[in-house]
Amino acid sequence: MSLVELMVSLAIGMLVLVGVVDLFLAYQHQYRMQTQLAQMQESGRFVTDVLTRELRKAGYAPRGLTEAFPATAHFAAKASVTGSNDSIQVRYYGSADGTMQDCLGARLGRGDASRARFALREDGGLTCAVDDTPPQPLDALVVDLALRYFVADGWRRAAQVNDWTKVTGVSAELLVASPQDGLVDTASSYVFDGERVTAPDHRLYRVYTTAVALRNALHPHEEGAS
């Protein structure tokens, strides 16, 4: 084999090796993208399911329970929800069959009152607190939460709600971000809480929305609705 043939062989080998490396890196990036998207989708579904389940229980009280929802430091009398634009509190009672659970999975007996509070942590992630216990992490990928409340004729922000006993629905927008940065070349752009936002980093972002009717507020005469 001549020196020229050897050099040509080495050059061809290097080209093949570069192609293989590029293909490997492309597949690796695609795998990372799909993995992150799957985690985000799971987080969005899980949190919207928990919020929906808790809001549907708001105002539940077993039959025969008198003065079920008195005024407290957190709630107005007869109100089952209260909150701000990015946090919400819900209260309800356990059932006689023991199937009711709070947001952390603890079972509630008949007459057991529960107050659940959902809020964001300063360093990111959504938490749930039951009564006056310390908040527990619910999901780490939720980076923002926007809430609106339905009163009489439309959706309102918390500051526009004058009477929390009149709230019959809650709308929640969740902003979920990928755990890893550097997944996209250009910053993501998305619409959240009615505004178009450009992400401050190169993570993936997705918005999940749910709207829940407070059935026990819509039909207060039907004690035991859940």
Per-residue pLDDT tens over the stretch 13-72: 787 777 777 776 666 667 778 889 999 999 999 999 999 999 999 999 887 776 778 899
| pLDDT for 56 | 93
152: left (phi over 0), alpha (psi -120 to 50) or beta: left
Give the containing element (helix H, strand E) for 172: strand 167-177
Domain extent, residue 23, equals: 3-218
Domain contains 199 = yes
Measure the CA–CA gap between 49 and 102, rounded to whole angstroms.
13
Domain contains 223 = no
pLDDT digit string (tens) for 77-130? 999 999 999 999 999 998 878 788 888 888 888 778 899 999 999 888 999 999
| pLDDT for 42 | 94
Residue 114's closest CA among 92, 129, 99, 82? 92
Domain contains 97 = yes
Residue 92's closest CA among 69, 74, 109, 75? 69
| pLDDT for 91 | 94
Domain contains 95 = yes
The band of 197, judged by pLDDT with boundaries at 50, 70 and 90, is very high
Domain contains 226 = no
Residue 209's closest CA among 51, 19, 68? 51
Domains held by the chain: number: 1
| pLDDT for 54 | 94
Per the DSSP assignment, residues forming a β-bridge with 175 are: 144, 207
Domain contains 225 = no
Asked if 187 and 200 touch (Cβ cutoff 8 Å), the reply is yes
Print burial letters for 125-155: b (CB count within 10 Å at least 16), e (below 16): bbbbbbeeeebeebbbbbbbbbbbbbbeeee
Domain contains 224 = no
